[in-house]
Amino acid sequence: MPQEIEKQYKEILKQYLMKQTERNLYEGQNFSRQLIKKNIAPDEVISIHKATLEEMFPELPMNVWNSFDLLIEMMIRYGLAHAEHQSLLQQQEEMKVEMDLAAKVQRTLLKTTRPKINGLEIGLVSVPARKMNGDYIYFLSDNLNNAGVAVADVIGKGIPAALCMSMIKYGMDSLQDVATDPKKVLDVINRIVEKSVNDDMFISMFYGRYNVENSLFTYATAGHEPALFYNAQNDEFTELHAKGLLLGVVANVSYEQHAVTMEAGDFVVMMTDGVTECRTDEGFIDPKIVITLIHSMRHEPAQTIVDSVFKELEKMQNFELRDDFTLVIFKKTS
Amino acid sequence: MSYRSSVEILTEWDIVAARQLGRNEAKEVGFGTVDQARITTAISELARNIYLYAGKGKIEIERISEGGKYGITIIASDEGPGIPDVRKVMEDGFSTSGGLGAGMPGVKRLMDTFKIDTVVGEGTVIKATKWIR
């Protein structure tokens, strides 16, 4: 094979020295493409060049030949850098495949079923900024009178955040009773997180539960983005605040619990900071925009609202999500 | 019957002496210009590691033959601190992040076979062989 390459190169060089046309140069570049494909290192290419010249112009002065040896020596490192680059590219490709698999596993693992409750619409959108999602949604329901939802956000994103999520999931799985009070839910999850997570990992979580019989939406929060409550009769939004430390900071926290009564047309918007802290290159998007967007859609079904808000904000951010984006709406229809 | 010659590595100039020895040996054994330069680069890298991380050590060059094939083995040995995480130094991108050095993966690429023995606190022996193609 090396002889074949030398022969081809000799031909290209001969043509070029004779005519010096753009076409000759183009052929030279195409040839180098082949050499790269065959993993021929740059030092070898110079060596081929030297050998070819020796054949064509044996009378050239010694200094010229010697200079090639210096050039070959110098090109060895370029060859190594190239080989390393190739191998890193391959590793990157392997990692990408692994990540895709992991993301798939995560999606299966964190699957949750949307409750079906009479008179309640649930809209949900959750989109990761990278492959793995650091936001988490978990529904708990008896599919009769109660629908609970946990919205959690690991500070940080990507793989570490995603791994953390499985812990919340198994914590929530252990609480199969939707009657459990929100503050109790946070209390249990907090203990689990506190025991298993490093000090540098924080999770915020909101838990809300809607009960059909008394139309009460009861909620508690662990340092999470406040939810928004839309009161249809007054046509106004209020923030649902409650005191509560982030999960995993200390073992014993007593979380506050509050409730609002929902009337037909009212809805609660729960989200992660990927929604409130949308940003473009010019800075953060005004949070009022989110409220204005939701308000303009207030008569639409819950899923339509979340979908359109996501689409709008995605557009505003030039289709580049910088943080995981999760938006859930509980809307009372009757 | 193998023939071995060596250079002690104590100062940076000894790296040059080791290179010189390696290049001469490679030439005499019959390697072409490119392979001579590759063997020399591998020696350079190994000698430099001794100089930088172990302080002192030795580069030996052995001429070898087997079944009509001829080649060269470089043996780099030191009684330095040893390498705690060999896998890490063999990773691409580990040693190059600083100054575009070839590092251990580079030496491995330049040669045909590469073997490393290291004990933390006792030292390191690296053997790398290249055959004439």
Per-residue pLDDT of chain A (334 residues; tens, 9 = 90+): 578 899 999 999 999 999 999 999 999 999 999 999 898 999 999 999 999 999 999 999 999 999 999 999 999 989 998 888 888 999 999 999 998 898 888 888 888 889 998 899 999 999 888 888 888 899 998 888 899 999 999 876 677 777 888 888 888 888 878 888 999 999 999 998 888 877 777 899 999 999 999 999 999 999 998 999 999 999 999 999 888 999 988 888 889 999 999 999 999 999 998 887 777 777 777 778 889 999 999 999 999 999 999 998 888 887 877 788 899 999 999 8
Name the residue in chain B with its Cα closest to that of A68: B33
For residue B110, give both structure tokens.
């330049």
B-chain residues within 8 Å CB-CB of A93? none
A57 with A114, same domain? no
Give chain A's domain count: 2
Q: Which of A6, A80, A85 to mutate to test the interface with B (most CBs of B within 10 A)?
A: A80
A243 with A327, same domain? yes
A40 with A181, same domain? no
A149 with A95, same domain? no
| Max CA distance (Å), chain A | 102
pLDDT by residue (tens digit) across A124-136? 999 888 888 888 8
Sequence-ordered list of residues with C-beta below 8 angstroms from that of A9, at least 6 positions apart, any chain: A31, A48, A49, A52
What pLDDT, on a 0 to 100 scale, did the predictor assign at position A129? 84
Domain span including residue A9: 2-102
pLDDT by residue (tens digit) across B5-45? 999 999 999 999 999 999 999 999 999 999 999 999 999 99
B-chain residues within 8 Å CB-CB of A81? 96, 100
Sequence-ordered list of residues with C-beta below 8 angstroms from that of A243, at least 6 positions apart, any chain: A255, A256
Sequence-ordered list of residues with C-beta below 8 angstroms from that of A178, at least 6 positions apart, any chain: A140, A141, A142, A146, A147, A148, A209
Nearest by CB: A72 against B33, B93, B109: B33
A92 with A118, same domain? no
Judged by CB atoms closer than 8 Å, whether chains meet at B37 and A87 is answered as no
What pLDDT, on a 0 to 100 scale, did the predictor assign at position A157? 64
**Residue where a domain terminates, one of A81, A102, A123:** A102
- B97 CA to chain A: closest CA distance, Å? 11
**Residue where a domain terminates, one of A102, A129, A156:** A102
A90 with A129, same domain? no
A-chain residues within 8 Å CB-CB of B40? 73
According to DSSP, the residues that pair with B62 across neighbouring strands are B4, B73
- Angstrom distance (rounded) from CA A43 to CA B8: 29
Q: What is the CATH number of the domain that holds A56?
A: 1.10.1240.30
Judged by CB atoms closer than 8 Å, whether chains meet at B34 and A87 is answered as no
Q: What is the CATH number of the domain that holds A166?
A: 3.60.40.10
Phi, psi of A195 (to 5 degrees): -70, -35
Scan residues 76-95 of A and list those with Cβ closer than 8 Å to B. 76-77, 80-81, 83-84, 87-88, 91
**Residue where a domain terminates, one of A102, A135, A168:** A102
**Strand, coil or helix: B74:** strand
Radius of gyration of chain A (CA): 31
Sequence-ordered list of residues with C-beta below 8 angstroms from that of A152, at least 6 positions apart, any chain: A135, A136, A137, A138, A165, A168, A203, A204, A205, A206, A224, A247
A82 with A190, same domain? no
Superfamily of domain B3-131: Histidine kinase-like ATPase, C-terminal domain (3.30.565.10)
Q: Which of A45, A49, A72, A73 to mutate to test the interface with B (most CBs of B within 10 A)?
A: A73
What pLDDT, on a 0 to 100 scale, did the predictor assign at position B95? 60
Sequence spans of domains, chain B: 3-131
What pLDDT, on a 0 to 100 scale, did the predictor assign at position B98? 44
